[in-house]
Amino acid sequence: MVKKSLKKSHATRRREEALSRDRIIEAAIAILDSSGEDGLTFRTLSERLATGPGAIYWHIANKSELLTAACDAIVARTMNAPLVGATPEATIRALALGMFDAIDAHPWVGSALTRAPGQLPMVRILEAIAQQVRALGVPDQEQWATVGALLNYILGVGGQNAANGQLARTRGVDRSDFLEAVSTAWSQLDPDQYPFTRSVAGQLRAHDDRMDFLAGIDLILRGIRGLRTDRIDLV
Amino acid sequence: MVKKSLKKSHATRRREEALSRDRIIEAAIAILDSSGEDGLTFRTLSERLATGPGAIYWHIANKSELLTAACDAIVARTMNAPLVGATPEATIRALALGMFDAIDAHPWVGSALTRAPGQLPMVRILEAIAQQVRALGVPDQEQWATVGALLNYILGVGGQNAANGQLARTRGVDRSDFLEAVSTAWSQLDPDQYPFTRSVAGQLRAHDDRMDFLAGIDLILRGIRGLRTDRIDLV
DNA sequence: ACCTGAACACCGTTCAAGT
DNA sequence: ACCTGAACACCGTTCAAGT
């Protein structure tokens, strides 16, 4: 792997505050935001905190826990953003969009979320959605599948966004350059084998990720509405 | 990171077939299946192929390309499995279940898929789903969002499955031990803050992942059916 | 053209030693 | 109790040298 080794700019000035779990997580978030997942290292982190790599282990068990904690800080902020008295459907859309925007602003959150199944960050999302699903009147036995559908869709889009951001960063191109490249590659696919992919290659550059994301949420919400009124009548 | 260094059992016997991209990918899949993502190294791989780490770089650009190629081999098999003349909805369910089972059997496929957005493995799934969505009669302007919803849901579940498998492997416990641990953790959450999560903690151990997955697909399919008949009438 | 394997520039993590 | 930083056991990748 090729890494550019950015020299430390301000020598090793002494730290003026004591180390703490919170300060470490805050520093980790700053590095993740500016340098991506590959940029976060116990060495870069300890340098920013003006300490040694070993010191961090006094406060945090390992890198996985660090990533999950950083992710949870972002998710907690997002899910606790207070919502005015809206309908359950509107609230679900707002929660989902909130996560979309959070992952857009911090792409590493998408993959951290996936790498910590069943952990607190995911539970926060699960719970917030579930409360709205209940308010929607979805029968008890269907709630788990319903919440799961919404959650997994959000995770899927999030992971995708994280990967886009990651790729764009490592190649030193921005997001639109990346989409441009994918669009070009898709337009060169065999028209017999990949008719649909080819036909949407052009739209790819122009399309609005956020609107597409919401369209997916609405599709699932429409399916949920069907759940409430009809019985299940699948082929 | 703690790694157990399993000694090579059969010394360095000479390779009897020439190296090739296909042989490398095949060996990579075998290692990924048996030792997970962390187990795949240019050193373990070259050892299994009875060569040096550098030799692999003659056939494959880097580890990312290797992972994507291994993923694509699995996805291609899965998407090319011929289906008897079924309805578009039944075909979508079969395709989705096919991917679920493939990721269940090869958990690393889930994360490889997410790490290679817009690449061939994903395009194969996209295209196969899109053709059924078209056959379903979804209007042109809605197709992209519809395909996206299905694809992202599958990716979300897949990523989750991959993470479960990965966690279970690194901790040396099996899947049910892992679910047991999550279930216990969830049942100890604050009932005021996490009522839903607590209430489903018990179900977690007993539930059937595959059925839940399918229920999510059905929810989206129901939403798609609404798309065809009604106009969009969201709040 | 294809392969070898030592070497480079990194990692996460540990731990004896300090304060 | 908390921190230091060298050391350990790895990585992915490169490349001069071989066939």
DSSP characters over A27-42: HHHHHHHHHHHHH--H
Q: For residue A35, how many C-alpha atoms fall within 13 Å in the half-sphere facing its CB?
A: 15
Give strand D nucleotides closer than 7 A to any protein Cβ: 2-7, 9-16
Q: Which of A125, A160, A233 is most worth mutating to test chain B (most B CB atoms within 10 A of its CB)?
A: A160
Which token pair is A64? 């996985």
On chain B, the residues whose CB falls within 8 A of the CB of A123 are 186, 189, 194, 197
| Torsion sign across C-alpha atoms B129, B131, B136, B137 | positive
Query: What does residue B5 show for φ and ψ, rounded to 5 degrees?
Result: -95, 85
- The rounded distance, in Å, linking the Cα atoms of A105 and A82 is 19
Query: What does residue B164 show for φ and ψ, rounded to 5 degrees?
Result: -55, -50
Q: For residue A73, how many C-alpha atoms fall within 13 Å in the half-sphere facing its CB?
A: 18
* B69–chain A Cβ distance below 8 A for any pair: no
Which token pair is A158? 């999030």
Query: Are B102 and B75 spatial neighbours (Cβ–Cβ below 8 Å)?
Result: yes
Which token pair is B135? 């056959």
On chain A, the residues whose CB falls within 8 A of the CB of B154 are 156
Instruction: Sort A188 into a burial class: Cβ within 10 Å, 0-12 / 13-18 / 19+.
Output: exposed
Q: Which amino acid is residue A68, in one-letter code? A: T
Query: In which residue ranges of chain A is pLDDT below 50?
Result: 1-14, 230-235
On chain A, the residues whose CB falls within 8 A of the CB of B216 are 145, 148-149, 152
Distances (CA, A) of A233 to A150, A226, B94: 21, 10, 18
On chain B, the residues whose CB falls within 8 A of the CB of A221 are 223, 234
Distance of CA B71 to the CA centre of its chain: 9
Residue A10 contacts strand C, CB under 7 A: no
The gap between B76 CA and D7 C1' (Å) is 46
Instruction: Write the DSSP assignment of A50-116 as a string of letters.
Output: TS-HHHHTTT-S-HHHHHHHHHHHHHHHHHHS---S--HHHHHHHHHHHHHHHHHHSTHHHHHHHHS
Which token pair is B235? 């709040």
Q: Which of B188, B196, B207 is most worth mutating to test chain A (most A CB atoms within 10 A of its CB)?
A: B196
From B156, B189, B196, residue closest to A155, measured CB to CB:
B156
- The rounded distance, in Å, linking the Cα atoms of A72 and A224 is 28
Contacts of A208 (CB under 8 A, 6+ apart): none
Which token pair is B139? 């209007």
Instruction: Count Cβ atoms below 10 Å from residue A173 Cβ, excluding itself.
Output: 14
| Torsion sign across C-alpha atoms B74, B75, B81, B86 | positive
Find tokens 């939403």 and name the residue.
B223
- List the one residue out of A76, A105, A186 whose CA is nearest residue B122: A186
Query: Are A28 and A40 spatial neighbours (Cβ–Cβ below 8 Å)?
Result: yes
From B148, B153, B221, residue closest to A212, measured CB to CB:
B148
- The rounded distance, in Å, linking the Cα atoms of A217 and A100 is 11
> Cβ contact (<8 Å) for A114 and B162?
yes
The gap between B40 CA and D14 C1' (Å) is 20
Q: Which nucleotide is nearest to A60 (CA to C1')?
A: C13
Q: Which nucleotide is nearest to A39 (CA to C1')?
A: C11
> Cβ contact (<8 Å) for A114 and B111?
yes
Contacts of A51 (CB under 8 A, 6+ apart): A15, A19
Which token pair is A197? 């992919």
Residue B63 contacts strand D, CB under 7 A: yes
Q: Which nucleotide is nearest to B49 (CA to C1')?
A: C3
Say what the pLDDT of residue B172 is.
75
Say what the pLDDT of residue A16 is.
64
Distances (CA, A) of A194 to B90, B140, B200: 21, 16, 42
> Cβ contact (<8 Å) for A220 and B223?
yes
Say what the pLDDT of residue A180 is.
92
Coil vs helix vs strand at B216: helix
Query: In which residue ranges of chain B is pLDDT below 70?
Result: 1-16, 228-235
* A143–chain B Cβ distance below 8 A for any pair: yes
Say what the pLDDT of residue A165 is.
85
**pLDDT tens per residue, range A6-53:** 333 333 344 667 899 999 999 999 999 999 999 999 999 999 999 999
Residue A118, Ramachandran bin (φ over 0: left; ψ between -120 and 50: alpha; else beta): left
Residue B31 contacts strand D, CB under 7 A: no
Instruction: Count Cβ atoms below 10 Å from residue B192 Cβ, excluding itself.
Output: 7
Q: Across chain A, what does the average pLDDT equal?
A: 89
Between positions 151 and 170 of A, the ones with CB within 8 A of B are: 151-160, 162-164, 166-167
Say what the pLDDT of residue A206 is.
87
- The rounded distance, in Å, linking the Cα atoms of B222 and A222 is 8
Q: Is the pTM of this model over 0.85?
A: yes
Say what the pLDDT of residue A85 is.
83
Distances (CA, A) of A153 to A62, B60, B150, B212: 29, 33, 8, 14
Domains in chain A, CATH or no CATH each? 1-60 (1.10.10.60), 71-173+205-234 (1.10.357.10)
Which residue does chain A place closest to B148, by CA atoms? A216
